[in-house]
Amino acid sequence: MAILILIATILIPPLGVAAKHGLGGTTLLNLVLTLLGFIPGLIHGLYVNYAR
């Protein structure tokens, strides 16, 4: 399951964050960052899912 979340986070960052943390503030923030630019959303998604 962890590898699927990693792949989802790389391809579609909000999906990866939602899969691990559910629909909430973290996912909403990641969605906004991804809409502003893919790289900020990707960095945030990887940080939230794997650095905490």
**Taking the model in full, what pTM does it have?**
0.90
Between the alpha carbon of residue 21 and those of residues 5, 9, 30, the distances in Å are 11, 12, 11
Per-residue b/e over 3-41, b at no fewer than 16 CB within 10 Å?
Answer: eebbebbeebbbbbbbbbeeeeebbeebbebbeeeeeeb
Residues 3-32: pLDDT tens digits? 999 999 999 999 999 999 999 999 999 999
The confidence score (pLDDT) of residue 32 equals 97
In the predicted structure, residue 52 carries a pLDDT above the cut 80:
no
Residue 1's pLDDT band (cuts 50, 70, 90): confident
